[in-house]
Each structure stands twice: as structure tokens, then as C-alpha cells.
Amino acid sequence: MSVATLVSTARPLRVARARRIPPSAYIVAAIAVAVCAIMAAPIVLSFLASIKTTADASAAPPRYLPETVSFESYVKVLNYQAGLATYVFNSGLVALITIGACLVVAAPAGYGLARYFMRGKEIAFLILLSPIMIPYQAILTPLYLDFAKVGLVNNHLGLAIVHTILQLPFSIFLMRSSFEAIPREIEEAAIIDGCSAWTRMTKVFLPLAVPGLVTVALFAFINSWNEFLAALIFMNRETSFTVPILLVAVRTGKLGAVDWGALEASVMISIVPCLGVYLALQRYYISGLLSGAVK
């Protein structure tokens, strides 16, 4: 049985449902709605506060709804220093490079760890996971001094490398789990068919691991987009700064005072692109030949 036929006959299997809807379905639906309400509440409250005037947003006692709808917090964030567009461009570029680097390095690594029996494999895995075990505030200083010597500071590539360091362990872990979940039979069939290792990986496994790749890309984007400390240390000019730095600067007042309206607007602004990426990539989670109904 060749790979092609095996792949084409596999499809999501659905268990036949009973005709009538059991009462448990209503309870579960109610739970889902409750969960939505609780989880969404802080964001909804944040949104409502972001459209208040600055004074209203820090009113004591607070009100749920804005007294008058005002977008002055958003305007403040949009026009701060170099302008939101510049920061978005920088964050976006760095995130894109990070995603690319993570995928290119982590996918083969995950594949190797998943499908090959090598002595010392787990030690290699431990080494690859090690970056997340180091407090990264500590490692940033030597890293910065090294990068400065080779001219990797104050540019997007240097920062993207740092972000990749932070994301790589998790990405490798994801890719490894993803490849491990693919059944043996597919691999055996590919070997019998005479595929080389590289073709096996690119033509057979990668398409099956798309949900994993997508998850890697998603988390790489989110974590790179929101990363603050390395971005601040490695970039030296306002025009190179990323969105998180803008968001901290715009809400900080004297002696630690916080402009709550600006904070809420920042939260909203940082959600939008990440949510967009998440929704765009959503469909790759659902599809995939190995998804199946649980019930």
C-alpha cells in the first residue's frame, strides 16, 4: 500500500450521534458560555475603559461604562513619539524573521528527535530545551555585549535572533510532539516506496505536521510581538523601537504614575494583530488528517 493511497483514504471519522440531544449537551453549552463570560470580562472592561477620557479611566470609584466616549487614549498611543506605524513595522519585521528562523531550525530538529533512534537523543533534547531554563534577564547582558562586537545591535536581525533563542526550545518541543503523533505505517510505507530521508520529511511528514508548524508560527509571532526587555536593550533609536516599548513609555508618568486609559488602549492595540494572526491560522488547526471527533 503506497503512501498516496494511505494518505488519501484517511479522513476525519465521525461517530454517529444519537438522534435526540441529551440534557448534558445543554449543561455543557451553559458551561461554555459561562467560561466565555468570565474569560472575556477583563478584556471587555479594558475596552470600555479605553474609550473613556483619561480622567474618567482613573476615576475613583470607577464606573463600568464611559461617561462620554472619547478616543483620546488611542490618539495618545497612535501619535506617541515616532508614531504607531513605525513601531508596528519594526515589531512585524522582527516577528516575521523570528517565525522564519524558528520554522527552519525547529522543524528538522523536531523531526530528527521524533523519528530517529540516536544514542544521547534525550540529552540533545535537554540541551535544546536549556535556553528556557536560564533567567533571560541574566543572559541578555553577555549576549548584548557580544552582539555589539559583531554589529548585530540596533537592527532587526539581531533582535530576531534573540527572540528565536527564546522561542526555539518550545518550537522544537512542539515539532517533536507533532511528528511523533504521525503513525508508523505512513513512514514505513514511504520507506518501502523508496523515498530519501529529505523527501520523506518534506513531502510526507511536513504536510501532516501542518497544525504543529502553524502552532509554532503562532507562538513565535505572539512572543516576539510582545517581547519587551531584549527589544529595549538591543535597539538604540526611537525609530527602531518595537510596540511593547511604545506601550510602556506612553503609559508611564512621573514617579511610577500610570495613565490607566493609555494602558487599556495599549492592551487593545496589542491584541488586534495577534488575534488577527490567530484567527487567520485557526483553520489549520481544524483541518489535518489526524483530527477526529472525541464523542
150 near another protein, judged by CB under 8 A:
no
* Near another protein by CB under 8 A: residue from 6, 7, 47, 58: 58
CB 77 to another protein: min, Å: 12
Q: Beta-carbon neighbour count of residue 281 at 10 Å?
A: 16
First to last CA, the chain: 30
The CA distance from 49 to 52, in Å, is: 5
Q: Does 193 bind another protein (CB under 8 A)?
A: no
CB 232 within 8 A of CB 94: no
* Residue 81 interacting with another protein (CB under 8 A): yes
Q: Is residue 40 within the footprint of another protein (CB under 8 A)?
A: yes
Binding status of residue 39 toward another protein by CB under 8 A: yes
Cell of 124: 540533545
Residues 129-148 within binding reach of another protein (CB under 8 A):
129-139, 141-146, 148
* Min separation Cβ 201 and another protein, Å: 7
DSSP state letters, 12-77: ---PPPPSSPPHHHHHHHHHHHHHHHHHHHHHHHHHHHHTS-HHHHT-SS--SS-SS---HHHHHH
Among 76, 83, 278, 284, binds another protein (CB under 8 A): 278
Q: How far is the CB of 23 from another protein (least distance, A)?
A: 13
Kindly state the smallest distance separating residue 203's Cβ from another protein, in Å. 12
